């Protein structure tokens, strides 16, 4: 793109998305009815508010990458916060450099459109864009998490925080609430300034605090805790006010989509699938305590990664593989799928697993080959974990809320949704449609507005 | 170039004819001043000389990132 090409570009449509990570549609509509969220209420009344679907596996890194690429995780390659190097037991932390499909901010940048990206997950390391970008959580520090680099010092001036301190949150809900307020306040003040000064076509402002408060305080909310339930709702009032402030910072003609990437529910139990695989004789490790994935031995037939990603230990594919490809592989997948239906909550006898997908049922595209052989999706309330350090099957932690595949939401200003429930991967095609930009070939999603 | 202590801004000098030409270009572009426009253009230019990808996590950062993921129940 020529440096001055934007001068010739007529001012076109603009889209602002506000990501309210992990806010359930059911919670939102209930609080709108109660009058707690006036800005979101008026936006929904003037436009449309609908339940929406997430992706499998239901984690924010996969879901938001679905949104910005418009394709399933088997095509964009982000299947969890941690992934495994194919053909090994080595793991790595996923980042922007692992995206295998072009995200909106790259497509638009290449077409000479300006973007403003604030805190969207999986934008670290910060990609070079035509515009401004600050990475989302997993950026270790603000310095080094922005494009251009000098944006970091401007953001520091606002007291900008990429994320709350989750260890502190585990210790003290009071500290969490203070941290959430300061993070939101700085995010909004920085966003207002950047929204006002930059000639963006697409601005995405991401609020991760909603996911964090849901993780750490869903139990207090659901149990109507006398001290913390009102403070939980107070945070949501502040988020609603933040939405109002952000909308004031953009013109009335700006297209606005506010959405969450998944829903939330109360965690009844955490379930360690590696412990279950060990109990059932599928998995064995060479080390004693604090075993890692690299310690699985030759008798292992299956191992897992959070959340619910099951890999068979295939001869010729994994270094110490034991399952033969072909018929034996298929038989093992069938046997394991059957056994997952026997995994029940010891107190209630209720099944833990909702569905077990074969890889090819949910993942399609260039990254599908590295995807898990089976994907276990739990019933709401059973938070699937993996880990070889402990052989405890069921557990609990200060994380009392978990993600749900359904009950996400999308809200649009001044427009109506088409009949079908939006899926998070409908994000990119919907945004491109609003901007009058042609979508790339072979997107999985489609525009969802009438 | 001028730099006043305590300020986060510096002054650049450019030829007056260039300044006047820019003044003529700006109307209709959404920029309210030559300064705003020049900052935008220079920022864009500077960006093309940056490394396209940041360094991956250092060992210490990787430990911190994993701890963060663990504390959120994502690992």
Mean pLDDT computed over A41-52 = 97
pLDDT of residue B31: 73
Mean pLDDT computed over A123-147 = 95
Q: Count Cβ atoms below 10 Å from residue A77 Cβ, excluding itself.
A: 23
Residue A429, pLDDT > 90, answer: yes
pLDDT of residue A1: 42
Tens of pLDDT along A56-65? Answer: 999 999 999 9
* Residue A192: domain span: 12-266+401-435
Tens of pLDDT along B32-50? Answer: 788 888 887 777 666 555 4
Distance (Å, whole) CA A150 – CA A228: 39
Q: How many domains does chain A have?
A: 2
Burial class (CB in 10 A: 0-12, 13-18, 19+), A448: buried
Mean pLDDT computed over A6-23 = 82
What ipTM goes with this model? 0.89
Peptide bond into A148 cis (omega under 30): yes
Instruction: Report whether A145 contacts A126 (CB < 8 A).
Output: yes
Q: What are phi and psi of A145, to 5 degrees?
A: -115, 15
CA A277 to chain B, closest CA, distance in angstroms equals 17
Show me where the domains of chain B are located: 6-50
Angle at alpha carbon of residue A339, lines to A333 and A342, rounded to 5°: 155
End-to-end CA distance of chain B: give it in Å, rounded: 51
Does residue A218 share a domain with residue A72? yes
Distance (Å, whole) CA A312 – CA A119: 35
Average pLDDT, chain A: 95
Tens of pLDDT along A245-285? Answer: 999 999 999 999 999 999 999 999 999 999 999 999 999 99
- Classify A163 as helix, strand or coil: coil
Start-end of H helices in A2-141: 5-8, 25-33, 38-46, 60-69, 73-76, 104-110
Does the residue A332 lie in any domain? yes
Residue A300, pLDDT > 80, answer: yes
Closest residue by Cα to residue A435 from A16, A63, A1 = A16
Does the residue A77 lie in any domain? yes
Mean pLDDT computed over A320-327 = 97
Considering only the C-alpha atoms of chain A, give the largest distance between any 2 of them, rounded to a whole number of Å: 67
Q: Is A3 on the interface with B (CB under 8 A)?
A: yes
Residue A118, pLDDT > 60, answer: yes
Tally C-beta pairs within 8 A across A and B.
80
Residue A168, pLDDT > 60, answer: yes
Is the four-CA dihedral A50, A54, A59, A65 of positive or negative sign? negative
pLDDT of residue A374: 98
Distance (Å, whole) CA A252 – CA A13: 11
pLDDT of residue A216: 98
Does residue A284 share a domain with residue A246? no
Residue A4, pLDDT > 80, answer: no
pLDDT of residue B44: 66
Distance (Å, whole) CA B73 – CA A399: 7
Q: Count Cβ atoms below 10 Å from residue A40 Cβ, excluding itself.
A: 25
pLDDT of residue B5: 57
Distance (Å, whole) CA A223 – CA A229: 8
Angle at alpha carbon of residue A425, lines to A400 and A40, rounded to 5°: 60
Closest residue by Cα to residue A440 from A9, A55, A111 = A111
Does the residue A254 lie in any domain? yes
The DSSP symbol for A143 reads T
Residues of A in contact with B71 (CB under 8 A): 166-167, 169-170
Does the residue A422 lie in any domain? yes
Does residue A306 share a domain with residue A429? no
Closest residue by Cα to residue A93 from A70, A61, A65 = A61
Q: Is B14 on the interface with A (CB under 8 A)?
A: no
Does the residue A24 lie in any domain? yes
Q: Name which of B36, B45, B65 is nearest A138 (Cβ-Cβ).
A: B65
CA A45 to chain B, closest CA, distance in angstroms equals 32
Residues of chain A with pLDDT > 90, as a percent, come to 94
Does residue A217 share a domain with residue A259? yes
List the CATH number of the domain containing A406: 3.40.720.10
> Do the Cβ atoms of A59 and B61 come within 8 Å?
no
Instruction: Report whether A176 contacts A168 (CB < 8 A).
Output: yes
Does residue A220 share a domain with residue A157? yes
> Do the Cβ atoms of B47 and A128 come within 8 Å?
yes
Instruction: Report whether A130 contacts A114 (CB < 8 A).
Output: yes
Any idea which of A96-100, A126-130, B28-32 has the lowest mean pLDDT? B28-32
Does the residue A326 lie in any domain? yes
Mean pLDDT computed over A66-86 = 97
Does residue A222 share a domain with residue A94? yes
Distance (Å, whole) CA A144 – CA A400: 33
pLDDT of residue A154: 96
pLDDT of residue A146: 96
Does residue A208 share a domain with residue A329? no
Residues of B in contact with A128 (CB under 8 A): 47, 50, 52
DSSP of A401-413, one letter per residue?
A: EEEESS-EEEEES
Instruction: Report whether A132 contacts A151 (CB < 8 A).
Output: yes
Average pLDDT, chain B: 78
pLDDT of residue B46: 66
Mean pLDDT computed over A333-341 = 97
Mean pLDDT computed over A405-432 = 96
Any idea which of A5-14, A52-61, A432-441, B3-12 has the lowest mean pLDDT? A5-14
> Do the Cβ atoms of A397 and B73 come within 8 Å?
yes
Tens of pLDDT along A183-229? Answer: 999 999 999 999 998 789 999 999 999 999 999 999 999 999 999 99
Does residue A273 share a domain with residue A248? no
Q: Is B69 on the interface with A (CB under 8 A)?
A: yes
pLDDT of residue B28: 67
Residue B4, pLDDT > 80, answer: no
């Amino acid at each position: 793109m020529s440096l001055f090409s934007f001068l010739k570009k007529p001012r076109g449509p603009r889209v602002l998305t506000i990501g309210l990570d992990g806010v359930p549609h059911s919670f939102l509509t209930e609080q709108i009815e109660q009058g707690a969220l006036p800005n979101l209420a008026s936006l929904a009344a003037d436009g449309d508010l609908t339940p929406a679907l997430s992706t499998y596996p239901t984690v924010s890194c996969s879901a938001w990458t679905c949104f910005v690429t418009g394709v399933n995780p088997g095509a964009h390659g982000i299947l969890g916060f941690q992934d495994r190097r194919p053909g090994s037991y080595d793991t790595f932390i996923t980042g922007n450099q692992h995206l295998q499909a072009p995200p909106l901010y790259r497509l638009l940048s290449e077409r000479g459109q300006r973007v403003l990206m604030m805190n969207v997950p999986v934008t670290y390391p910060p990609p070079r864009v035509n515009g401004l970008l600050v990475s989302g959580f997993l950026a270790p520090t603000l310095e080094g998490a922005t494009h251009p680099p000098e944006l970091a010092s401007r953001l520091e001036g606002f007291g900008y925080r990429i994320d709350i301190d989750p260890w502190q949150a585990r210790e003290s809900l009071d500290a969490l609430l203070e941290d959430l307020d300061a993070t939101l306040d700085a995010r909004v003040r920085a966003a207002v300034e950047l929204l006002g000064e930059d000639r963006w076509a697409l601005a995405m402002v991401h609020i991760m605090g909603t996911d964090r408060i849901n993780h750490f305080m869903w139990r207090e909310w659901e149990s109507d805790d006398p001290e913390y339930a009102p403070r939980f709702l107070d945070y949501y009032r502040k988020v609603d006010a933040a939405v109002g402030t952000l909308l004031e910072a953009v013109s009335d003609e700006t297209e606005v989509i506010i959405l969450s990437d998944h829903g939330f529910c109360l965690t009844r139990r955490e379930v360690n699938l590696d412990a279950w695989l060990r109990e059932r004789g599928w998995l064995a490790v060479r080390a004693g305590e604090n075993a890692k994935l690299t310690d699985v031995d030759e008798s292992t037939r299956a191992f897992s990664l959070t959340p619910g990603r099951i890999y068979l230990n295939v001869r010729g594919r994994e270094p110490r593989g034991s399952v033969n490809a072909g018929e034996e592989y298929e038989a093992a997948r069938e046997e394991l799928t059957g056994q997952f239906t026997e995994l029940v909550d010891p107190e209630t006898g209720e099944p833990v697993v909702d569905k077990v997908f074969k890889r090819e049922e949910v993942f399609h595209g260039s990254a599908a080959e590295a995807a898990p052989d089976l994907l276990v999706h739990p019933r709401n309330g059973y938070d699937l974990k993996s880990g070889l350090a402990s052989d405890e099957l069921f557990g609990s932690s200060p994380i009392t809320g978990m993600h749900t595949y359904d009950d996400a939401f999308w809200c649009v200003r001044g427009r109506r949704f088409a009949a079908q429930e939006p899926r998070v991967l409908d994000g990119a095609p919907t945004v491109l449609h609003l901007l009058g930009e042609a979508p790339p070939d072979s997107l999985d999603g489609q525009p969802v507005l009438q | 170039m001028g730099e006043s202590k305590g300020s986060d801004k510096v002054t650049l000098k450019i030829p007056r004819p260039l300044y006047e030409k820019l003044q003529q270009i700006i109307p209709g572009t959404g920029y309210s001043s030559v300064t705003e426009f020049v900052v935008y253009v220079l920022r864009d230019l500077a960006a093309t000389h940056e490394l396209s990808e940041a360094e991956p996590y250092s060992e210490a950062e990787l430990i911190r990132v994993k701890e963060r993921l663990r504390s959120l129940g994502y690992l």
